[in-house]
């Protein structure tokens, strides 16, 4: 056993090095970091994309609005992250810049997938650079490009499109509940209610609606709405 640990020790010193079993240990460590982050749920509805994010319980001295993790990338794209917040901030700024460059160059709005692909490319590059660590953050993008869409990027630079997904703490448990409860053609209000029901089931006695933020990206004139949840009317 000691020999195996001894052999593995040198393989986690760089993101460019494969262990003998085919794993990149720095990438796996980064994936564990994501699961230490607070959870978020994204749901595709018939007329909107809904994202609900857990802020957790904060220090009473912190201004709550400054802890919101849901960000507007463009007037038709929103994003939420789990993991290292400072890593997410850098990638969010990058996504905003890419979106604005596309508008300036082509005089049209970028597709959500093109933004996601560019951010995933940056993440992938940092699994290859010597002397740099992978970005310790998973990002979920909601967008409207004719229809509501939801994408998630992982540490390795892969990305997938989802009907509903969860990132952060207890993500597997939350996804299991989503598989059971998600259905097509939800309205935005129904999607918001479903996200909170899923969190309530996953968190049990720790659930408190006051600790959640929501982002709703709707078709038509409403556009992006990001707000703090409160009250008992949704459940």
The pLDDT value given to residue 1:
46
pLDDT of residue 8: 54
Q: Is residue 105 part of a domain?
A: yes
Using CA atoms, how far apart are residues 87 and 94, in angstroms rounded to an integer? 11
pLDDT band at 6 (very low <50, low <70, confident <90, very high): very low
Report d(CA 7, CA 2) in Å as an integer. 9
> Total structural domains in the chain?
1
Within a domain: residue 33?
no
Residue 19 lies in a domain: no
User: Alpha-carbon torsion 117, 81, 133, 15, what sign?
Assistant: negative
Q: Is residue 29 part of a domain?
A: no
Helix (H, G, I), strand (E, B) or coil at 147: coil
**CATH value at residue 96:** 3.60.20.10
User: Looking at residue 24, what is its pLDDT?
Assistant: 83
Domain that holds residue 104: 38-228
Residue 134 lies in a domain: yes
pLDDT, position 232 = 52
| pTM to 2 decimal places | 0.91
140 within 8 A of 167, measured Cβ to Cβ = yes
């Amino acid at each position: 056993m000691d020999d195996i640990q001894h052999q593995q020790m040198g393989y986690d010193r760089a993101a460019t090095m494969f262990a003998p079993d085919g794993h990149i240990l720095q990438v796996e460590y980064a994936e564990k970091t994501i699961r230490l982050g607070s959870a978020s749920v994204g749901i595709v509805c018939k007329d909107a994309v809904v994202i609900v994010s857990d802020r957790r319980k904060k220090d009473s001295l912190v201004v709550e609005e400054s802890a919101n993790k849901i960000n507007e990338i463009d007037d038709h794209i929103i994003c939420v992250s789990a993991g290292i917040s400072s890593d997410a901030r850098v990638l969010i700024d990058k996504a905003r810049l890419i979106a604005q460059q596309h508008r300036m160059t082509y005089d049209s709005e970028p597709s959500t997938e093109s933004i996601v692909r560019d951010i995933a490319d940056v993440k992938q590059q940092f699994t290859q650079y010597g002397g740099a660590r992978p970005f310790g953050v998973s990002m979920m993008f909601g967008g409207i490009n004719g229809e509501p869409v939801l994408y998630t990027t992982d540490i390795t630079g892969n990305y997938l499109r989802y009907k509903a997904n969860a990132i952060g703490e207890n993500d597997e448990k939350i996804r299991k509940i989503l598989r059971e409860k998600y259905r097509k053609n939800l309205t935005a209000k129904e999607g918001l209610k479903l996200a909170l029901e899923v969190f309530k089931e996953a968190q049990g006695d720790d659930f408190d609606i006051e600790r959640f933020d929501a982002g709703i990206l709707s078709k038509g004139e409403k556009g992006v709405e990001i707000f703090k949840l409160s009250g008992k009317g949704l459940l």
